[in-house]
Chains A and B, each alone.
Chain A
Amino acid sequence: MAGTAGVTAARGRQLPPLFEVDALLKDPEIKVIVTCGSGGVGKTTTAAALALRAAEQGRRVVVLTIDPARRLAQSLGLVELDNTPRPVAGIANGALLAMMLDMKRTFDEVVLANTTREKAEQIFANPFYQSLSASFAGTQEYMAMEKLSQLRGQLVERGKWDLIVVDTPPSRSALDFLDAPQRLGRFLDGRMIRMLSAPARAGGKAYLKVVGASFALFSRVLNRIVGNELLGNVSAFIASLETMFGGFRERAEQTYRLLQAPGTAFVVIASPEPDALREASFFVERLQAERMPLAGVVLNRVRRVAVDLSAGRALDAAERLAALEPAPAGAALAQAALQVHAETAEAARQDRSMVARFAAAHPDVPERQVPALPTDVHDLAGLRLIGAALAGEEP
């Protein structure tokens, strides 16, 4: 098989180290694997394949996905995933549990865990809360982190599983996932919270004294813009959340530290396309800057050839065949084969050059290429194939 290795080596470049996936999966010190990358690169499938392979090598794994398209459900042959890890049937060894993040339910759980039943009911009834928890985008990131924390906590306390594989949300940018906890912290430290909760806390006009003239102006502005009713709802919501905000922030910080801890490994996933590789570069650089443990990069869907013959030579030969009169035996079929090869070789060349550029920019980052499959994966057999390719086993 003509791989990337030949080309980069010929230019005298150092090849990047290979990402040894099995070593990572077998390492008992590794408790959390986070897969990240831009949309459409096969992130969810890779997370599921890693989880399945780890399970079949004897680990007890829970895989958490946060994807509204329910792709993991498809890949695992499950009809429905909810907020509880459920065992996946047909695992040869170990145990695999899968769950899909139910954003609203996770938010509700956080509220319930941090306040009294009565207060929780008040919060649930607040229209602002209903919007924030159910339909506003981006709470996904917080809730994913929250769920990861919960699962990690259960791992420590009850030991139901010993490895958590997390698929990151399909966010605007892959980096949102990393920034979410800190943003939450910054927000909670801000004056906005105190301002917004002041009316409900102090009641009537008394709060003006508490926060002074700048708030009076701010409040007027807000009233003018959003109207009294919404402001009232927001204020009531934040006041009732106040008691649990401390807990929120503490856990956000904890989760961030958890991500930096040695028991965590990040796997960055990309396909050999400019946008996906650019996003992967951002991510690699960011992880390095934040001292987050990057295990390696997976380059998915790399197109390859089975025959060492250039696209040009294949097309020349096809033309020669077309010109022969009368057409020799097998001419039509060989022509089609050569055209297919020319297409395939050109695609493989593009992918090789994309991958080589990435490797040149990140020579120290371990890398693993997964060949493109002709069809999508939606069963365990397919996931096993991907898992084998991730571990570097040739088909």
Chain B
Amino acid sequence: MVTGKGGTGKTTVAGALALALAGRRQRVLLIEVEGRQGLAQLFDTPPLPYAETRLAATRGGEVVGLAVDAEAAMIEYLELFYSIKRAGSMLRKMGAIDFATTIAPGLRDVLLTGKVKEAVTRAGRDGRPAFDAVVLDAPPTGRIAQFLQATQEVAGLTKMGPIHRQSIGVMELLRSARTAIHIVTLLEEMPVQESLDAAAELRRAGYRIGQVIVNRARPELVGAGAPKAAEVAEGLAAAGLSADLAAGLVAEMIDYGTRQRVQASAAAELVTIDAALRRLPELAPPVDLGGLFELAEALELDEWLGRPA
């Protein structure tokens, strides 16, 4: 699972992670659940239907994308698990689908995580798992705990019956060693604070934090100490540039230095999460497929997971 504060690039990182896994000859399912068609944007394809669609193939592996739609997931779920035919039209008439997917969005979260479990445990024709890995572009840090805990909530509310058993099964998977929650952050105060809060909350609730992925870190360019305009002006003159630029450049340096200090203290804060840290370079937006491969490389999965067999 890949989470992160809004605007940190979690969808991009989820895409890069899926590509990196595919590069290790894996068949990867990349799921989005927020109805934003972020994967289609990222892989430059038409909007994804609620059907598994190949997004990319590389080095003997592939990335299959799926935009989960709560309504369709609910109907599928009912037909699959309870062999209820025409469940959709009946429930829609009753207003039950509106109820489940919009009025009580907790149920929506249950359906979405249920779909993730189905994909993880699905067997292919040869009896082996249909996917080697499932990457979920999960809800943002502010909602992730609530998203995962909704199933727990339902398990508590139902006490028995198939929904209860299903919920327990999903919770077991989400809390098992097979699930890791990666947190994407920028080196800025708010995203780092939310990352710390989310990591603590998730751990308290029994989930496992994978890696903390620092996105768009800027290079360290400015040393300590206030830059002197006169000194910059001398250097500029030597480079054949107007010394008049010095004041503006110094202002930019001071600004950049402040950001650099914010980055450094944010990085120091992040260490307290006590998880492996990985840095990704800043790419010019919008990130295209080429850029995504570049980020996939930068994730250095071989170092992280060991060389593939």
Contact = CB atoms under 8 A, between A and B. Distances in A.
Interface of A: 38-41, 67-69, 71, 127-128, 131-132, 135-139, 170, 172-173, 183-184, 186-187, 190-193, 195, 214, 217-218, 221-222, 224-227, 229-230, 233, 271, 273-276, 278-279, 305-307, 309, 317-318, 320-321, 324, 328-341, 343-344, 346, 350, 354, 374-376
Contacts of A276: 7
B109 to A, nearest CB: 7
B235 A339 contact: no
B98 A183 contact: yes
B133 to A, nearest CB: 24
Contacts of B107: 136
Contacts of A338: 239, 249
A128 B256 contact: no
A341 B235 CA distance: 14
A329 B7 contact: no
A320 B239 contact: yes
Contacts of B248: 305-307
B191 interface: yes
B7 A38 contact: yes
Given A127-B157, A329-B231, A337 B252 contact: yes
17 contacts: A40-B5, A67-B142, A71-B190, A136-B150, A183-B103, A192-B98, A192-B99, A222-B96, A273-B7, A273-B285, A306-B249, A306-B252, A307-B249, A334-B235, A336-B221, A374-B256, A376-B189
B94 A190 contact: yes
Interface stretch (B160-168, B172-180, B273-281): B160-168
Interface residues of B, number: 88
B103 A340 contact: no
What DSSP secondary structure best describes chain A's contact surface?
Answer: helix
Contacts of B150: 135-137
Contacts of B104: 132, 136, 138
A300 to B, nearest CB: 10
Contact of A190 (B36, B95, B232, B235): B95
B220 to A, nearest CB: 10
B162 A225 contact: yes
B223 A307 contact: no
B38 A333 contact: no
A372 to B, nearest CB: 9
Given A227-B160, A306-B252, A343-B218, A137 B147 contact: yes
A219 to B, nearest CB: 10
A227 B249 contact: no
B7 A218 contact: no
B219 interface: yes
Interface in B92-151: 93-96, 98-99, 102-109, 139-140, 142-143, 146-147, 149-150
A214 B153 CA distance: 29
B98 A224 contact: no
Contact of A226 (B94, B149, B161): B161
Contacts of A331: 235, 238
B285 A192 contact: no
Interface string B208-236: 00000000001101110001101111111
B98 to A, nearest CB: 5
A272 to B, nearest CB: 9
Contact of A131 (B84, B90, B143, B153): B153
A242 B150 CA distance: 26
B11 interface: yes
Contact of A317 (B139, B147, B233, B240): B240
A183 B142 CA distance: 24
A328 B237 CA distance: 10
Contacts of A170: 6, 140, 142-143
B45 interface: no
Given A321-B235, A324-B238, A333-B228, A225 B163 contact: yes
B253 interface: yes
Contacts of B84: 221
A172 B157 contact: no
Contact of B223 (A41, A217, A230, A336): A336
Contact of A39 (B140, B153, B250): B140
A340 B162 CA distance: 60
Contacts of B162: 224-225
Contacts of B36: 172-173, 275, 279
B90 A135 contact: no
A340 B140 CA distance: 32
A225 B142 contact: no
A146 to B, nearest CB: 15
Nearest to B8: A40
Given A135-B149, A137-B147, A307-B248, A225 B78 contact: yes
Most B CB within 10 A of own CB, among A39, A127, A132, A183: A39
